[in-house]
Structure 1
């Protein structure tokens, strides 16, 4: 038995009503179960929206939707530093304006 296989256990996850045996690294059981539950919910949503889609098509459509969501999050994260910088500058300008108004008043 290799060290890699000793650090993993077999776990059964249920996705869209089907059981799958997957290798799970030690300490990641809860994260894997949560991921499987999330995937199953997303696949169920795709299944309900489609007519009679096969399991493979449901999986592909779900993967595409999740990839789009991931890319959207990455784009927002890339813009976040700019947004934070702009927010800081606006706060500084607001303080200057308030200070100037206090001096006049």
Structure 2
């Protein structure tokens, strides 16, 4: 593996060397910073002890947030589809009206 395809990130004071395409380096760095922040937040709460447990709790929290946001986006997409359907029906009805009735 060439050095240009790897990225070293630091999470909870440990270094991890990760294979990464050059066009994804910035995204991976951001993801590592986000994960590090979540893990430090959980560790500092004092409720979870041990790096493995902290990592699992961070993964669960991040997964929960992701699923919650996906559900919100799905709901919003459904509402947008309904609104679009309603607007298309109004346009269809307006176009289907008799032109002689529009002047009345």
**SS state of the match for residue 20, structure 2?**
strand
Equivalent in 13, 16, 24 of residue 28 of structure 1: 24
TM-score by length of 1: 0.70
Q: CA deviation at 1:27?
A: 1.1
Q: Which moved more, 1:37-46 or 1:47-56?
A: 47-56
What is the rounded CA distance, in whole Å, between the counterparts of 2:7 and 2:78 in structure 1? 43
Which residue number in structure 1 is paired with residue 69 of structure 2?
Answer: 73
**Aligned residue pairs, count:** 88
Instruction: State the TM-score, normalized to the length of structure 2.
Output: 0.70
Larger radius of gyration: 2
Closer, same or farther in 2 for the Cα pair 1:50/1:86, shift >3 Å? farther
Runs of 5+ consecutive residues of structure 1 not aligned to the other structure: 90-105
Matched, 1:11 2:7: yes
Structure 1 stretches of at least 4 aligned residues deviating more than 4 Å after TM superposition = 85-89
Deviation at 1:26, TM superposition (A): 2.1
RMSD: 2.4
Taking the aligned partners of 2:48 and 2:74, their CA distance within structure 1 comes to 38
- Give unmatched runs, 5+ long, in structure 2: 87-104
